[in-house]
Chain A
Amino acid sequence: MPRLDFDRSLRILQDELLALGSMVEKAVINSVDSLKRRDLELSRQVVQQDDVIDKMRYEIEEKCIDLIAKQQPFAQDLRTVIATLHIAVELERMGDYAEGIAKISLLMGDQAPLKPLIDIPRMADKATKMLRRALDALVNRDVVAAKVVCNDDDEVDALYDQVYRELLTFMIQDPKTIQRATYLLWVAHDLERTADRATNIAERVIYLVTGKLVELNVGKG
């Protein structure tokens, strides 16, 4: 039977990648949640969890290199391993953004938030849905589903513009709010980058299936 061992290794690798994705998804949700509800304990947990995320990314990376050396993969096997490598990196960076948001939450401490957070949690919701969709597309090797992720990115970008304008208004009207507004701006920026990274993951899924690298969010800042 051809390459049973290798197939098993590839399956395990994907499972680990999905587990990492799950962890990152939770981290993003928790970080914004902790900011919204001023749950500093949760924020602290998110910061600690990032170490686990980093560690997992390196483990996956090492496994990929190991498989390339030992199995000399070609064609789709090769693209799968390479795509896994890239996606793990993207996920780890998304984890870093979640950690950043949690740190900002800790920085804001007991201070009352500037305003009830509405758009920012919406951004987080969209970004994590994009991540979920991209990873599902990976599991199902579904190019169409991967392309849909791009559309959602437009919505996140629109939300970011909105948040940006709103916070800018706050800062212009009342300079005392600048510190808190800047923090929130940073959070929004991190979430917009998170959504971009989810798009990158979708691009890698398309590469894995078709062998072609396409830029999905062309023309966006």
Chain B
Amino acid sequence: MTSEKPSARFKADNLNFYYGTFKALKNISLEVKRNKVTALIGPSGCGKSTFLRCFNRMNDLIPHTRVEGNILFDGNDLYGPTVDPVEIRSRIGMVFQKPNPFPKSIFDNVAFGLKINGYKGDHKEAVERSLRRAALWNEVKDRLNKSAYALSGGQQQRLCIARALAVEPEVILMDEPASALDPIATLAIEELIRDLVRDVTILIVTHNMQQAARVSDETAFLMVGEDRAGYLVEHGDTGQIFTNPRDEKTEAYITGRFS
């Protein structure tokens, strides 16, 4: 299949991130490839979630934050002056650590994105499509108007994924999407991720190394330096990172000899 689309969906270039005067991310340069799952791993506090949120400008919602360097999305600067963060977020979706469905019905949850973005098509069709993509349709098709809270944790998270899928994003950012779920629900989510990545680029933060090894095509390892800023240690093919990493810090972390 030939494609003129560049293989890199995102290109972070010397990204620095500040909370006020505190530098949380330092000089991160990284390519996130199209239609691949890229995992971000690293010890807690290294800034993985902060970094993730730079990709859909969710950090803009926190006062006094600042970005230096840039992130290119399909070649365009994500933080450029003409870019509308609200519009970006309908193209770059997000799934959070704890499932957070709205206190509404299952249908209204999935249709929410359609409503606020003024989707002109058939909402019922779009909702069904998203629920099917999220492997949830068969479990909820008879109770679409029941509250989302009636679902189990794993189902709620898949509902959140369906909700994110409804606006047909090109990218989905996932912040430890399975960490609040039991092992079976976790595997279902991982299965789903492998399925979705055929149409969508996925960037996933996880603190579970086995999960990163199972689910991702590429892995980036971040660590926090002496100055408490997070930086990129190594990035590469997942198989290579987990069998023969280049950097000894990476080796120490993934073999669990990191203290």
The reply to whether A and B meet directly (CB within 8 Å) is yes
Listed in ascending order, the chain A residues whose CB lies under 8 Å from chain B are 1-3, 6, 72-79, 210-212
Additional A-B contacts beyond A74-B254, A76-B255 (19; CB < 8 A): A2-B256, A3-B255, A3-B256, A3-B257, A72-B210, A73-B255, A74-B209, A74-B242, A75-B243, A75-B250, A75-B254, A76-B251, A77-B255, A78-B243, A79-B243, A79-B244, A210-B244, A211-B243, A212-B244
Which of A72, A75, A79, A211 has its CB near the most chain B CB atoms (within 10 A)?
A75
Bound state CA distance, A6 and B255, in angstroms?
A: 10
**A76–B250 alpha-carbon span in the complex (Å):** 11
Residues of B whose CB lies within 8 Å of any CB of A are: 209-210, 213, 242-245, 250-251, 254-259
| A75 B255 Cβ-Cβ under 8 A | yes
Closest B residue to A3 by CB, please name it: B256
Interface pair A74/B257, CB less than 8 Å apart: no
**When A and B form their complex, which 9 residue pairs have the shortest distance between CB atoms, in order from nearest?**
A211-B244, A74-B254, A2-B257, A74-B242, A75-B251, A77-B255, A3-B256, A2-B256, A2-B259
Q: Which residues of A contact B244 (CB under 8 A)?
A: 75, 79, 210-212
Complex-state Cα separation, A32 to B163, whole angstroms: 75
Q: Report Cα–Cα, A72/B210, bound state, in Å.
A: 8
Q: Name which residue of chain B comes closest to A71, CB basis.
A: B256
Measured between C-beta atoms, what is the minimum distance from B217 to chain A in Å? Answer: 17
What are 23 A-B contacts with C-beta separation under 8 Å? Answer: A2-B256, A2-B258, A2-B259, A3-B255, A6-B256, A72-B210, A73-B255, A74-B209, A74-B242, A74-B243, A74-B254, A75-B242, A75-B243, A75-B245, A75-B250, A75-B254, A75-B255, A76-B251, A77-B255, A78-B242, A79-B244, A211-B243, A211-B244
Expressed in whole angstroms, the Cα–Cα distance for A1 and B256 within the complex equals 10
A10 → B minimal CB distance (Å) = 11
- Determine whether the beta carbon of A74 is less than 8 Å from that of B213: yes
With both chains docked as a complex, state the minimum distance between the C-beta of B214 and any C-beta of chain A, in angstroms: 11
**Residues from chain B with Cβ under 8 Å of A73 in the complex:** 255
Asked if B259 and A1 make an inter-chain contact with CB atoms under 8 angstroms apart, the answer reads yes
Least CB distance from A5 to B in Å reads: 11
A77 to B255, CA, bound (A): 7
How many Å lie between the Cα of A28 and that of B254 in the bound state? 41
| B220 CB to nearest chain A CB (Å) | 16
Q: How far is the CB of B234 from chain A (nearest CB, A)?
A: 12
**B42 CB, min distance to chain A CBs, angstroms:** 15
Q: What CA separation (Å) do A210 and B244 show in the bound complex?
A: 8
Complex Cα distance, B250 from A66, in Å, reads 25
Query: Shortest distance in angstroms between B22's beta carbon and chain A's nearest beta carbon?
Result: 29
Closest to B213 in A: A74
- Inter-chain CA distance A78–B245, complex, in Å, is 12
Question: Min CB distance, B24 to chain A, in Å?
Answer: 26
Please give, as numbers and ranges, the residues of chain B lying within 8 Å of A6 by CB-CB distance: 256
